Amino acid sequence: VTVPEPHVSDLVVMLDTQYRMHPDIGDLVGELFYKGRLQHGANTRQTATIAAGVPCAGAAIVVADTAGSADCQTPSGSYSRFNERHARIAVEFARQSVEGGADSIAIITPYVEQVRRIGRLLADAPGLADHVECRTVHRFQGGERDVVIFDTVDADPLPPGRLLSGKAAGSSAPNLINVSLSRARGKLLIIADVSYFRRHDPSGVISQVL
């Protein structure tokens, strides 16, 4: 049965308590996707311990703003995208997280080509690939990790891709972004060109997140 307005229907009961995320991450997800109704039942001592680690010790949510310094491209014969500077930042964040003692680390990105590029960088760093998992958003649904690095990839000279832009009717972008953010237990690191999204998609979900 499809319920047109589940948030106000007597037929639907919302499971409104989350037990995974640091409260700061839970507040972000709750405000953006659950109308502020999400409550926190997670072990705050445990999630605070994760947030206290490097990179960016003490912060549960971090935006690494590449601020026009990264280019988004597509390989010849493919529509998938990659961003070399973002990939290197993601791997550096992963390296610091491992050295800081994080038990589980994920790099999540919308594009298969970026997964390939990050995978090669991880393989070139001795032992790092054993501790870090890199997947697309579609492949990561249902998982959770202590540290999540969400690489948006999109940047000039290309317009925002449909995987992150919620402009089209029935777009899955909000759900995909929700999945990406809410996999993090204690630390969420977002790599993005903030001004790029503000210029190209100012009312989009990614701009709201940033």
CB neighbours of 26 closer than 8 A, spacing ≥ 6? 18, 38, 40, 42
The strands making up 61-65's β-sheet, listed across from edge to edge, are: 61-65, 184-192, 145-151, 105-109, 132-136
Residue 188 reports pLDDT greater than 90? yes
Share of the chain above pLDDT 70, in %: 83
Residue 2 reports pLDDT greater than 80? no
pLDDT tens, position by position, 159-185: 999 878 766 656 788 888 988 999 999
pTM: 0.87
Spatial separation of the C-alpha atoms in residues 42 and 181, rounded to whole Å: 16
Beta strands in the chain (DSSP E): 17-18, 39-40, 61-65, 105-109, 132-136, 145-151, 184-192
pLDDT tens, position by position, 115-165: 999 999 999 998 899 999 999 998 887 778 999 999 999 999 999 998 787
SS3 38: coil
φ/ψ of 18, rounded to 5, equals -105, 145
Spatial separation of the C-alpha atoms in residues 145 and 169, rounded to whole Å: 31
pLDDT tens, position by position, 50-77: 999 999 999 999 999 999 999 999 999 9
CB neighbours of 133 closer than 8 A, spacing ≥ 6? 104, 105, 106, 107, 145
- In one-letter notation, the amino acid at residue 131 is H
